């Protein structure tokens, strides 16, 4: 079974590339983030023609998450129970579904913006709500994973230059402690390092030639429970999909399982 996660940074802009990637890579399940469309504008018909059902939680031009599956799609839950919201708005940042033998969450963790910004406090609160929401499945016997754009680099090795991020979000002790808290709930990072190359980054800013210079971050993660982690046979970041005109600023992360 092949499961992947990809922040597509607008499914409308990325649809031709998405359909081509589904055909070439053949994931059984794909978690998407930053759909950036209202649910009624989501390309259900095009994905159905490609063999995928879709569960979507999206409200407009920002955020938006989805789970695509060709192995079944059941028990869909939209939103994060206990979501603290930001500025009075509960944003579409999480969706979960059972796909064949596996249950997954697709999550788009708040960015945090700046350490002193209210969005940073919201990010930490959102992590607390996520931990509470996944604790039951994390400790269960069914393979379970939380995939998505976590907007946190787990260690200094997961950014191209730690000095360049000093004082910024994505690398602070509090954010990394939030990841540790998920691990304490029974989840672990199932994508090993190194992979087939050093520093398997998943995100490169569009500006300042960051991708050609490999000035990236590893912030798209797959956190699985013990049954999920034990079933992993391979994992990789598809850097090729970050290349070329019209690419997302994130690359897909792919995990193969023997389930």
* Each residue's pLDDT tens digit, 124-134: 999 999 999 99
What H or E segment, with its residue span, contains residue 121?
helix 118-138
Percent of the chain at pLDDT exceeding 90:
95
pLDDT tens for 26-85 read 999 999 999 999 999 999 999 999 999 999 999 988 899 999 999 999 999 999 999 999
Establish whether 156 is an annotated binding residue: no
Cis amide bond preceding 173, omega within 30 = no
CA distances (Å), origin 188, targets 82, 137, 223, 248 = 23, 13, 5, 26
* Closest to 33 in 3D by CA, of 11, 14, 3: 11
Give the whole-angstrom CA distance, residue 37 versus residue 88: 20
By CB atoms closer than 10 A (0-12, 13-18, 19+), residue 246 is exposed
Catalytic residues: 108, 149, 250
Q: What is the mean pLDDT of residues 89-111?
A: 98
Establish whether 166 is an annotated binding residue: no
Backbone angles phi, psi at 139, to 5 degrees: -95, 5
pLDDT tens for 207-238 read 999 999 999 999 999 999 999 999 999 999 99
Establish whether 225 is an annotated binding residue: no
Give the whole-angstrom CA distance, residue 45 versus residue 161: 43
Give the whole-angstrom CA distance, residue 235 versus residue 59: 32
Establish whether 45 is an annotated binding residue: no
pTM: 0.97
Residue pair 18/35 in contact (Cβ under 8 Å)? The answer is no
Backbone angles phi, psi at 66, to 5 degrees: -155, 160
Q: Which domains does the chain have, with CATH numbers?
A: 2-246 (3.60.10.10)
Residue 197 has pLDDT above 60, yes or no: no
Give the whole-angstrom CA distance, residue 219 versus residue 198: 15
Q: What pLDDT does 148 receive?
A: 98
């Amino acid at each position: 079974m092949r499961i992947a996660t990809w922040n597509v940074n607008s499914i409308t802009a990325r649809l031709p590339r998405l359909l081509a990637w589904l055909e070439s890579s053949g994931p059984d399940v794909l978690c998407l983030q930053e759909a950036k469309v209202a649910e009624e504008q989501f390309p259900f018909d095009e994905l159905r023609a490609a063999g995928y059902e879709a569960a979507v939680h999206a409200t407009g031009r920002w955020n938006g998450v989805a789970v695509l599956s060709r192995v079944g799609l059941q028990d869909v839950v939209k939103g994060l129970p206990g979501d603290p919201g930001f500025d009075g708005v509960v944003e579409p940042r999480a969706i979960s579904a059972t796909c064949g033998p596996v249950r997954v969450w697709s999550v788009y963790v708040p960015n945090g913006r700046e350490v002193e910004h209210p969005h940073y406090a919201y990010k930490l609160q959102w992590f607390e709500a996520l931990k509470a929401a996944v604790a039951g499945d994390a400790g269960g016997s069914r393979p379970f994973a939380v995939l998505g754009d976590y907007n946190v680099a787990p260690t200094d090795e997961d950014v191209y230059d730690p000095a360049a991020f000093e004082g910024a979000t994505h690398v602070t002790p509090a954010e990394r402690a939030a990841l540790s808290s998920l691990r304490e709930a029974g989840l672990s990072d199932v994508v090993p390092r190194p992979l087939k190359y050093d520093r398997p980054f998943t995100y490169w800013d569009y500006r300042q030639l960051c991708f050609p210079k490999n000035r990236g971050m590893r912030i798209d993660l797959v956190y699985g429970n013990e049954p999920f982690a034990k079933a992993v046979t391979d994992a990789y970041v598809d850097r090729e999909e970050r290349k070329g005109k019209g690419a997302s600023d994130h690359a897909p992360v792919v995990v193969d399982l023997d389930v």
